[in-house]
Amino acid sequence: MRRYEVFLKKDGRDEYRHAGSLDAPNDELALVLARESYLRRAEGDRLWLVDRAHLVTGSPEFVAPNADKPHRHNDGEQIAERRRRIRNLKKNDT
Amino acid sequence: MINSPWNDGIREFVLAIADDEHLMGQQHAEWIGVAPFLEEDLAFCSIGQDELGHAATLYAIVAGSGNPDGVDDRSLDALAFDPDPNRWRSSHLVEIATPGWAHALVRHWLYDTTEQIRWELVADSTLTPLAEAAVRAEREEWFHRRHADSLLDALLASADAGSRIRSALVDLFPLAMGLFVPVEGEAEAVATGVTAAPLNTRLPEWIDQVQQRFVIDSLPNNETAPVDRTTRSDAFEPLLSRMREVLDLDAAAIW
């Protein structure tokens, strides 16, 4: 058995979304079985199946260091604060 | 409904298809929870549901004497759960209890390939609701055949599974031949254009298909002639009582 990740897409501009996974012995049976396991109620009209063996994965150890870089998070608060300060200074000048 | 032909022969003809669909659907559905793996469990039961849907459509045609409009569920149930074995016209292939998955899968293929021919023959039926049912059925049947073929492709490639599949074929082939035994009323169905031709005119082509599918040179000889649909197999009573299990708990209950 191989394990496949199932992605479904509804009509229109929606992106493909992960719906779950399934076991099947080959690609053809994966298609057949995904249709009945994930699309019986017309949950999508397009289907991607990815054999899990073909996924390129990044482990937590590889990804985690980027969790400690607050300077890469710009929520605009500091800029807003700076502009507020300058505006107030100008107001005081007049 | 304008001038759809209807008589006792046509009724027998449609009833035979309906009973086959019903019992095949029931048998497939009994694999829910016990099929070899979860995904197959869902797929097989879903296919069974489709067959039950076809049965309901056909029973409505029978109950409405050719016109299914306005037929209520009780009339369908009266046919579908009729306790009188003499009313049934199912083939023995769909009645028997299979000993395991290999038999269930081979029966699925044998039944659906025969069914394909049977629906083709009524695709232009003068009995309009039957022609409409054929269109509806084929929208689902192509998938049933692809499902059966995909599994057989995978299993026949392995020595162990392949030998189980072929031995199931040897057991089931004579019963599958029973599907082609002329149904009572078929002559009238042909004469009135309800079906295009007797089903057994397509038998040679179907046998070729079986041989190619299972890569088998000689099919089991028919030592005993396949039985017709007016007699019930030993497996029928237990199957019917499984289907009626809830109904029989309380005969007076109103559903």
The whole-number pLDDT of residue B223 equals 59
Q: Quote the mean pLDDT of chain A.
A: 90
User: Fold for domain A2-55+69-93?
Assistant: Ubiquitin-like (UB roll) (3.10.20)
Kindly state the DSSP code that residue A26 receives in the 8-state scheme. S
Q: Determine whether the interchain pair A32/B42 forms a contact, defined as Cβ–Cβ distance below 8 Å.
A: no
Residue of B28, B39, B153 to mutate when probing chain A, most A C-beta within 10 A: B39
> How far apart are the CA of A18 and the nearest CA of chain B, in angstroms?
17
B110 band by pLDDT with thresholds 50, 70 and 90: very high
3-state secondary structure chain B: CCCCCCCHHHHHHHHHHHHHHHHHHHHHHCCCCCCCCHHHHHHHHHHHHHHHHHHHHHHHHHHCCCCCCCCCHHHHHHHHCCCCHHHCCCCHHHHCCCCCHHHHHHHHHHHHHHHHHHHHHCCCCCCHHHHHHHHHHHHHHHHHHHHHHHHHHHHHCCHHHHHHHHHHHHHHHHHHHHHHCCCCCHHHHHHCCCCCCCHHHHHHHHHHHHHHHHCCCCCCCCCCCCCCCCCCCCCHHHHHHHHCHHHHHCCCCCC
Summarize pLDDT for A45-54 with one digit per residue, the tens: 999 999 999 9
Task: Provide the ipTM.
Answer: 0.84
Any domain includes B193: yes
Is-contact B90 B19, C-beta < 8 A?
yes
Q: Quote the mean pLDDT of chain B.
A: 94
B227 band by pLDDT with thresholds 50, 70 and 90: confident
The whole-number pLDDT of residue B40 equals 95
The whole-number pLDDT of residue A79 equals 87
Inter-axis angle of helices B73-80 and B38-63, to 10 degrees? 110
pLDDT at A12 over 70: yes
Max CA-CA distance within chain B?
56
DSSP 3-state assignment of A13? coil
Q: Tell me the pTM.
A: 0.89
Range of weakest confidence among A75-79, A84-88, B34-38, B186-190: A75-79
Any domain includes B255: no
- Number of domains into which chain B is organized: 1
Summarize pLDDT for B177-221 with one digit per residue, the tens: 999 999 989 999 999 999 999 999 999 999 999 999 999 888 876
Write out the E strands in chain A. Answer: 2-9, 17-24, 46-51
In whole angstroms, what separates CA B56 from the centre of its chain?
A: 13
- Which structural domain, as residue segments, surrounds residue B75? 8-249
Any domain includes B118: yes
Any domain includes B155: yes
Looking up residue B22, the CATH number of its domain turns out to be 1.20.1260.10
Q: Could you tell me which chain A residue has the CA closest to the CA of B144?
A: A32
Any domain includes B2: no
Inter-axis angle of helices B101-121 and B8-29, to 10 degrees? 150
In whole angstroms, what separates CA A76 from the centre of its chain?
A: 24
The whole-number pLDDT of residue B222 equals 62
Q: Determine whether the interchain pair A32/B154 forms a contact, defined as Cβ–Cβ distance below 8 Å.
A: no
> How far apart are the CA of B39 and the nearest CA of chain A, in angstroms?
6
Residue B77, token pair as written in the block: 């149930």
Do the strands A2-9 and A46-51 form a parallel or antiparallel pair, or are they unpaired? antiparallel
Cα separation, A7 vs A19, in Å, equals: 5
